[in-house]
A and B are shown apart, each in its own frame.
Chain A
Amino acid sequence: MVLSPADKTNIKSTWDKIGGHAGDYGGEALDRTFQSFPTTKTYFPHFDLSPGSAQVKAHGKKVADALTTAVAHLDDLPGALSALSDLHAYKLRVDPVNFKLLSHCLLVTLACHHPTEFTPAVHASLDKFFTAVSTVLTSKYR
């Protein structure tokens, strides 16, 4: 799965539109993930996961910042996300199925907040982007 030039344009322009809201959207996506897919909560026994939790908001910002980094390095995702890839492989070991669940909730969050911009083509590019990021983050699992 390769990001085409059109995909890269769509991804970057989406991130431009998101602006300073990326952190909030990260938190909301996590919230949606925990509520729709309760099994994902097993990775956060040390967190307060109630809606609006400060820990979830902070973690959402972390996730968003990593995605912002990824957007800035679409031509070299493995390089840009190498440290995060190590973290997920050797320390966090989040089962790969969960990346799809968070990716889906990121898409839902963006669809809610930017319905006009979230055209089918942009949706497709973002789905590819999150898939590519997920692949990099699970690439060193075995």
Chain B
Amino acid sequence: MVHFTAEEKAAVISLWARVNVELVGGEVLGRLLVVYPWTQRFFDNFGNLSSESAIMGNPKVKAHGKKVLTSFGNAIKHMDDLKDTFAELSELHCDKLHVDPENFKLLGNMILIVLATHFSKEFTPQTQAAWQKLTTAVANALAHKYH
């Protein structure tokens, strides 16, 4: 089980309080689809994903991004218990969605990068390290039930 220090938890929670989940969620998923276009394979029914502006402006991308990031917010409430928290979602991603867990790492890195663009110099190396640990732990939790 991953252990987060008090400082790491504080770094994550204090930044999260200032995140606009709807806005950031859309940006995170949008950037995933722009920077790693092969991830579009999971979103055939999302409509127009043909260009950067189409993707970033796509309402389905924004809505789904918000959904995903909201779920991530749940992780922050359960940082000591991620595997159990994400057990059901892990099964869903394996059995129904058939998502390669590598994609969780890619998405995690997109979260980091969007946070960096929003928080700039406040996103210090220490803050990044805490968030890096969290996104890795969530990715592992989501992959835990794969078979």
Residues of B within 8 A of A104 (CB): 109, 112
B contacts, CB < 8 Å to A: 30-31, 34-35, 52, 55-56, 109, 112-114, 116-121, 123, 125-126, 128-129, 132-133
Residue on B nearest A118 in the bound complex, by CB: B117
Inter-subunit contact B132/A123 (CB<8 Å): no
Inter-chain CA distance A40–B72, complex, in Å, is 27
- Can you show 9 pairs from A to B with CB atoms below 8 A apart? A35-B126, A104-B109, A105-B128, A111-B116, A120-B34, A120-B52, A120-B56, A124-B34, A124-B52
B30 with A36: CB separation less than 8 A: no
Q: How far is the CA of A119 from the CA of B117 in the complex (A)?
A: 9
Instruction: Using C-beta atoms within 8 Å of the partner chain, give the interface range for chain A.
Output: 20 to 34
**CB within 8 A of A36: which of B34, B55, B118, B132?**
B132
B132: A residues at CB distance < 8 A: 36-37
Option from A51, A112, A121 in Cβ contact (under 8 Å) with B120: A112
CA distance in complex: A37, B128 (Å): 10
What's the dominant secondary structure at chain B's contact region? helix
Within 8 Å CB of A118, what residues of B?
Answer: 113, 117
In the bound assembly, the distance between CA atoms of A51 and B47 in angstroms comes to 46
Q: Which residues of B contact A115 (CB under 8 A)?
A: 116-118, 120
- Are B116 and A108 in touch, CB under 8 angstroms? yes
Within 8 A of B (CB), among A84-102: none
- Residue interface bits A114-128, CB-to-B below 8 A is 1, else 0: 010011110110010
The answer to whether A112 and B116 touch (CB under 8 A), given A28-B125, A36-B125, is yes
The reply to whether A123 and B118 form a contact with Cβ atoms under 8 Å apart is no
Chain B residues in 8 Å Cβ range of A124: 34-35, 52
Bound complex: CA of A30 vs CA of B117, how far in Å? 19
Whether B125 contacts A120 by the Cβ 8 Å rule is no
Roughly how many angstroms separate A108 CA and B111 CA in the complex, as a whole number? 10
Cα–Cα distance between A104 and B30 once the two chains are bound (Å):
18
Give A10 to B56 CA distance when docked, in angstroms. Answer: 18
Please give, as numbers and ranges, the residues of chain B lying within 8 Å of A36 by CB-CB distance: 125, 128-129, 132-133
Smallest CB separation, B140 vs chain A (Å):
15
Most chain-A CB neighbours within 10 Å: which of B55, B112, B113?
Answer: B113
B30: A residues at CB distance < 8 A:
120
